[in-house]
Amino acid sequence: MATKRGRRGGKRAKKGPFGRLALFYRQIIAELRKVVWPTRGQLSTYTSVVIVFVLIMIGIVTVIDYGFNNAIKYVFG
């Protein structure tokens, strides 16, 4: 069984730290090109849905906090 001893680590062994850094950034750019970016309409819809959801959650937490506050005042005077 013959093994190659001269080559270790694939692409990373041949390049220095700057070559590896350049490879890293090229891979980042390649992955960002694969992303399906939302259109302006989708983005505004998603943003409004998130804002409405956060406002609803703020309302729920406020009501629960107010109820607990009154219950604690009732129990402990």
Calculate what percentage of the chain has a pLDDT beyond 90: 74
pLDDT tens, position by position, 22-54? 999 999 999 999 999 999 999 999 999 999 999
DSSP 9-71: STHHHHS-HHHHHHHHHHHHHHHHHH--PPPHHHHHHHHHHHHHHHHHHHHHHHHHHHHHHHH
The distance from CA 31 to its chain's CA centroid, rounded to whole angstroms, is: 15
Q: Please give the share of the chain, as a percent, with pLDDT higher than 70.
A: 82
**Chain-wide mean pLDDT for the chain?**
88
Q: CA 70 from chain center: how many Å?
A: 38
CA 65, chain centre distance (Å): 30
Quick check: 7 pLDDT over 60?
no
